[in-house]
């Protein structure tokens, strides 16, 4: 029989971008990344009347308030409205301009990204969304796994 997991004790959840309908240049909260072995970052697209696509970058930073540089990551997508079957994993190199997410006019889709912290040379992460021209309701949550500490009440990871 599988052991039950208490999510708050096994993962760190960061509400990096609460539901937001801003059009362009949206930054998530910055969070401390080094307290986990890896981060699973979920981008949710809800209502969407945009005619263009979003561009997502995941970035590292030396502080919890200063923008830094792009990093590489892996991601999977579910582009069927309200679906739950993710694509195969795709690796994104840090040298590009991020990934263009084919979101034009499609609502209720999701993207899941993976960042192992052993590849980071700076201690903090944040996400940036750009390219949108219309109203797109979007949200980002980050889930740290392989915590370096485990306790019933987790400590903060954001500024």
pLDDT in tens, 65-92: 889 999 999 999 888 877 888 888 888 8
Instruction: Give the pLDDT of residue 141.
Output: 95
Q: Which of 135, 140, 139 is nearest to 48 (CA)?
A: 135
Q: Which residues of the chain have pLDDT under 50?
A: none
Q: How far apart are CA 21 and CA 23, in angstroms?
A: 6
Which of 2.60.40, 3.30.70, 2.60.120, 2.40.30 is the CATH number of 13-145?
2.60.120
Instruction: Give the pLDDT of residue 55.
Output: 85
Instruction: Give the pLDDT of residue 21.
Output: 79
Report field, pTM of the whole predicted structure over 0.75 = yes
Q: Which of 116, 144, 150, 155 is nearest to 42 (CA)?
A: 144
Cα angle vertex 83, ends 82, 89, to 5°? 130
Instruction: Give the pLDDT of residue 148.
Output: 79
Q: Which residues contact residue 59 at a Cβ distance below 8 angstroms, ignoring those fewer than 6 apart?
A: 67, 68, 69, 70, 71, 125, 126, 127, 128
Instruction: Give the pLDDT of residue 2.
Output: 58
Beta-bridge partner residues of 101 = 54
Instruction: Give the pLDDT of residue 52.
Output: 73
Distances (CA, A) of 60 to 2, 4, 18, 63, 125: 36, 33, 20, 9, 5
Instruction: Give the pLDDT of residue 155.
Output: 66
Instruction: Give the pLDDT of residue 36.
Output: 92
- What are the residue ranges spanned by the domains of the chain? 13-145
């Amino acid at each position: 029989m599988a052991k039950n997991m208490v999510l708050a004790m096994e993962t760190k959840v960061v509400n990096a971008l609460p539901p937001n309908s801003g059009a362009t240049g949206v930054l998530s909260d910055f969070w401390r990344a080094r307290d986990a072995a890896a981060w699973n970052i979920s981008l949710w697209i809800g209502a969407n009347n945009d005619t263009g696509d979003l561009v997502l970058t995941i970035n590292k930073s030396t502080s919890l308030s200063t923008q830094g540089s792009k990093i590489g990551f892996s991601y999977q997508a579910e582009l069927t409205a309200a679906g739950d079957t993710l694509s195969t994993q795709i690796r994104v190199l840090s040298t590009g301009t991020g990934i263009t997410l084919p979101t034009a006019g499609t609502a209720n889709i999701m993207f899941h990204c993976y960042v192992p912290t052993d590849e980071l040379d700076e201690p903090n992460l944040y996400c940036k969304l750009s390219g949108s021209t219309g109203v797109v309701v979007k949200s980002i949550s980050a889930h740290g796994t392989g915590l370096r500490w485990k306790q019933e009440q987790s400590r903060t990871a954001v500024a």
